[in-house]
Amino acid sequence: MSIAGLSLALAAYLVASIPFGLLLARALGKVDPREGGSGNVGTINVARTAGKTAAIFTLCLDAAKGGVPVGLSLWLFSPLETAVVGLAAFLGHVWPVYLRFRGGKGVATVLGILLVVSPWAGIATTLTVPLLGVPSGFMSVGSMVACLLAPVWLLILGEPIELVVMSVILAFLVVWRHRENISRLLSGKEHHWRKKHTEANSRAPDELPDEKN
């Protein structure tokens, strides 16, 4: 691992630590995402607490946290150094130094990494999230399964073993970050987006929350 590679990994961690979801929520005058929902600053919770507009921008920026430094590393360094840079970016988002190490769950950042490392694997992983999450009603399920399948796509596509190992580590870290979701799934208390949507649509107009995106 070169000094330049380590420097990029450190820079990736520090930039990925920037809580874009929190900053966007504040800029739009919305609720601090740490004070509602699951309490993290990732895309799903930003959608719950700050609306769709903030969530879309959060998704893109959180994906860029992984994609930009990994793309730069692929251009300049070896697969091993790229794997380290990717892991550093993920760790920065999930355990950000600026928020006392309380960040998001890392799914968007993983997708950004994969889309740059192997576009086809990234597309397959990205599509798996809604393909499983929407029918089941549990986006957490789609997210976890998608990340666990990512190493399989990379192997099939013949990507360097260092990047496959990176994806395995990322997948297990994503599952670890979803451990509370897993507990709620097992107890039948996990957030079901379709049920909430149906309940919201069944309310009288004067009962609907006044939320502007």
Q: What is the pLDDT of residues 56-108, one digit of tens each?
A: 888 999 999 999 999 999 999 999 999 999 999 999 999 999 988 888 889 99
Stated pTM of the model: 0.85
For the chain, how long is the longest CA-to-CA vector? 62
**How is residue 10 written in tokens?**
């450190």
**The dihedral formed by the CA atoms of 24, 64, 45 and 39, expressed in degrees to the nearest 10:** -80
Which of 54-63, 109-118, 158-167 is least confident?
54-63
Residue-wise pLDDT tens digits, 137-155: 778 889 999 999 999 999 9
Digit-coded pLDDT (tens) for 164-183: 999 999 999 999 999 988 89
What's the rounded Cα separation, in Å, for the pair 23 and 172? 28
